[in-house]
Copies of this chain bind each other. A is one copy, B any other.
C-alpha cells in the first residue's frame, strides 16, 4: 500500500473496530466499551506493523504471543481477530457474550482462535505473559542453534486495574529481574477505573515504578495515534536489555458523549451515544459492517507478514532438523507433549524404609531433569525446603537461559501464573513449589490453570500440623478441602515415596488437567502395600480384610497412622480395612467407572486426615480431622495434642462405634 492509502485505511480500521465494539456491546447489552474504544489505535498499530502470527495457523508455536490482561475489553480483541483474518466470523461477533458463542465475556484460551490466554481476573494476564516470555527464552536456549528458527516476542495489554493488583506488581518485578527483553507491555493509562477516576484510588508514579523494577519505559502522550504507538513498539522491540513498558495516554470511551468518564467503563453506550460516537469517528456504515479496505489493510500487513514468517520458519526448521535431528525431535515432542520417551524409569524402592514425600518428589525431579530436557521449574524462595533445587541443574538467569531452576522470589502468585504462561506457551513441562499453606496466595492461578485446561504442576510441601514449631499461621487446615473443590484440578496427596512417584507420573500423563501434589515435611514410612500405579484409582486398600467391621480412609501421612490404628483396633476385635485415598477426583472417576472401591457402606466408614473434615462426608460418615487452627510446638506434641496418634485414633473410632450401636 502507498503511504497515503495506508494512512486512510488505518483511520478507517480504527473506526471500524471501534464501531464493532460499540455494536457488540450494544447488541449484548453488556460488556466494557470504555477501554476497548481508547485502546483500539494501540491494537491496530500492534497488528498492522508488529505482531508476527499467522491467522491460518493460530497454534503455530513460534508466533508472537498476545495476552489481553484487561480481559474485560474482550470486544476489542475479538474485533481485531476478526478484521485481521482469524476464523472468527461476523456472526461470532454478533453472538458476543451469548451462550455457546466463540466470543464469551472474557477471553478463553482453547475456545477462540487467536486467544493465547484466558484473562479477566486482573493482573494474571501480565503474569502469564511473563511466563510466556520466560518460556520463549527457555525453549530457545534449551538446544544448540535453536535460535536459527525459534524466537518470538510476547505482548501484553493492560490497564490500571492490572497494575493495582499485587499480582501485577509481582510479575513486573520478576520480569525486570529476569531481564525479559522479549516482553513488551502496553499500558493503557486512560485515567479511569470502574468506580471513577484512577486518581480516586491510585496516584502512583507509574513511570518511576517501572524504572524501579528495571524496565525500560516509553511514554506515548498521544495514545490515540496509531503511528505514535507503532513507533513506540518499534523502539521497544530494539531493547535487548530489559522488558519495556509503553505507557500510553488515552481518553476512556473516546468518541462517546461520556468520553473521559468512568461511565463508559462497564456499560454499553446504547443506541444514541453509539451513533454519536460512530459519527465522531466518521463511520457511517450499518451495524456490524466492515469495509473491504479494512480487511485489505490487515491482509496486506498482518496476515501477509505472518504467512511469510510462518513459511520462513518451516524452512528454517527443516534446515535445523538436517543438522540437529535429535533436538528437532525433542522440540516437536515437547510441543506435542509426547512425554513418554522422556520419563525416567521407575525408581527401585527396595531399601528405602522411610522418606519425607517432599524428598521423594525431589528425587523424582532429579531423575526427570536428567531424562526430560524441557522440564523447568522452581520455587518461591523455599527451594531448599520444597526440595526443588535439582542437582545438576543451573539457575535460569539473564546470563544463563539454559538454567532450568527458576528463582521466582517470594512471589507465590506470580510464580503459579508464570507456570501457567509457560504451559500455555508450550514446549516445556513447567512446575513450581511452595509451602502448602501458601497455596492460598496462588489459589486464583490454580483455578486459572484448571479453566485453561493446562497441565501445570503445583507442588505443595509442609502439608499439615506436622510443620510443628512454625505454628498456626503455617499449618494448613482447610487448604486440602479448598483445592479439592476446584473443578478440573487433580489434587493428589501421596502416602509415601511410592505414591509420590505415582502422583508425579499422573501429573505428567495429564494433558488437560493441572495437578497439585501435596507433600509431607516429615519422614513417612514406605509402606509395603502402597503402589505407584494404584494412585490412579484415587483410593485402594492398603490393609485388606475379608470381613471388615469398618473401613478407614486416609491420605498422605495419615495412611501409616491409620494402619497403626488398625493394629490397635484389631486387638480390640474391630476389623478395619484401611484405604489409602490419595485423590478425591481420581476416586470419583473410579466410582463413575463402576470400580469396586469400598467393601462397606458409607455408614461404616471413617476418614482420617490432619486437616479440615470438610468434604469427607461424601465418602465416610465418620470423619476424623481437625476443624480448628493448629499450634506451635514439637511436631509430635502437636499431633498428640490434636489426637493424631494410633491410640487416640483407635479410641475415637471405638467411641463412635459405641455411641452408634
Can you offer 11 A-B residue contacts whose CB atoms are under 8 A? A100-B633, A104-B471, A106-B472, A164-B173, A166-B413, A173-B202, A195-B381, A207-B212, A443-B482, A451-B473, A485-B615
With a cutoff of 8 Å between Cβ atoms, the chain B residues found around residue A382 in the complex are: 194-195
Q: A165-B170, A176-B203, A478-B482 are in contact. List 12 more A-B contacts (CB 8 A).
A: A97-B469, A98-B634, A99-B637, A120-B471, A161-B381, A166-B413, A176-B204, A196-B407, A440-B444, A447-B478, A487-B627, A615-B615
Contact A166 B167 (CB under 8 A): yes
User: Is A470 engaged at the interface, CB distance under 8 Å to the other chain?
Assistant: yes
User: Is A374 engaged at the interface, CB distance under 8 Å to the other chain?
Assistant: no
Distance (whole angstroms) from the CB of A294 to the closest CB of chain B: 26
A619 to B211, CA, bound (A): 55
User: Is A340 engaged at the interface, CB distance under 8 Å to the other chain?
Assistant: no
Contact A631 B122 (CB under 8 A): no
Contact A470 B164 (CB under 8 A): no
Distance (whole angstroms) from the CB of A3 to the closest CB of chain B: 40
Contact B165 A166 (CB under 8 A): yes
User: Is A632 engaged at the interface, CB distance under 8 Å to the other chain?
Assistant: yes
Contact A447 B451 (CB under 8 A): no
Q: Which of B473, B477, B628 contacts A106 (CB 8 A)?
A: B473
Distance (whole angstroms) from the CB of A533 to the closest CB of chain B: 26
* Cβ proximity bits A122-133 to B, threshold 8 Å, 1 near / 0 not: 110000000000
Name the CB-closest residue of B to A176: B204
A31 to B632, CA, bound (A): 11
User: Is A414 engaged at the interface, CB distance under 8 Å to the other chain?
Assistant: yes
Q: Which 4 A-B pairs have the closest CB atoms?
A: A166-B166, A99-B633, A201-B409, A104-B632
Contact A211 B201 (CB under 8 A): no
Residues of A within 8 A of B (CB): 28, 30-31, 71-72, 97-101, 104-106, 108, 118-123, 160-161, 164-170, 173, 176-177, 193-196, 200-209, 211-214, 266, 379, 381-385, 395, 407-414, 437-438, 440-441, 443-444, 447, 450-451, 468-474, 477-478, 481-482, 484-488, 612, 614-615, 617-619, 627-629, 631-634, 637-638, 641
Q: Which of B161, B193, B473, B481 contacts A481 (CB 8 A)?
A: B481
Known: A31-B469, A208-B208, A633-B98. A384 touches B195 (CB 8 A): yes
Contact B201 A381 (CB under 8 A): yes
A366 to B266, CA, bound (A): 24
Tallying the copies of this chain within the complex gives 2
Q: Which of B108, B201, B207, B383 contacts A177 (CB 8 A)?
A: B201
With a cutoff of 8 Å between Cβ atoms, the chain B residues found around residue A100 in the complex are: 631, 633
Contact A410 B161 (CB under 8 A): yes
Name the CB-closest residue of B to A104: B632
With a cutoff of 8 Å between Cβ atoms, the chain B residues found around residue A633 in the complex are: 97-101
Known: A105-B470, A408-B201, A473-B120. A381 touches B193 (CB 8 A): yes
Known: A106-B473, A213-B209, A637-B99. A484 touches B614 (CB 8 A): yes
Distance (whole angstroms) from the CB of A637 to the closest CB of chain B: 5
Name the CB-closest residue of B to A447: B440
Contact B170 A166 (CB under 8 A): yes
A169 to B31, CA, bound (A): 29
Contact A471 B202 (CB under 8 A): no
With a cutoff of 8 Å between Cβ atoms, the chain B residues found around residue A381 in the complex are: 161, 164, 193-195, 201
A97 to B632, CA, bound (A): 6
Distance (whole angstroms) from the CB of A111 to the closest CB of chain B: 10
- Max chain B C-beta neighbours (<10 A), residue from A99, A209, A213, A438: A99
A607 to B358, CA, bound (A): 38
- Max chain B C-beta neighbours (<10 A), residue from A71, A193, A212: A212
Contact A71 B164 (CB under 8 A): no
With a cutoff of 8 Å between Cβ atoms, the chain B residues found around residue A471 in the complex are: 97, 104-106, 108, 120
Name the CB-closest residue of B to A450: B629
Q: Which of B205, B395, B632 contacts A101 (CB 8 A)?
A: B632
Name the CB-closest residue of B to A398: B203
Name the CB-closest residue of B to A160: B410
With a cutoff of 8 Å between Cβ atoms, the chain B residues found around residue A472 in the complex are: 104, 106, 108, 118, 451
Known: A121-B438, A214-B205. A629 touches B200 (CB 8 A): no
Name the CB-closest residue of B to A481: B485
Contact B212 A212 (CB under 8 A): yes
With a cutoff of 8 Å between Cβ atoms, the chain B residues found around residue A120 in the complex are: 470-471, 473-474
Contact A612 B485 (CB under 8 A): yes
Name the CB-closest residue of B to A200: B407
Known: A105-B474, A120-B474, A201-B381. A166 touches B414 (CB 8 A): yes
With a cutoff of 8 Å between Cβ atoms, the chain B residues found around residue A411 in the complex are: 164-166
Name the CB-closest residue of B to A397: B200
A470 to B73, CA, bound (A): 11
Name the CB-closest residue of B to A395: B200
Name the CB-closest residue of B to A476: B447
Distance (whole angstroms) from the CB of A408 to the closest CB of chain B: 7
Contact B488 A628 (CB under 8 A): yes
With a cutoff of 8 Å between Cβ atoms, the chain B residues found around residue A209 in the complex are: 209, 212-213
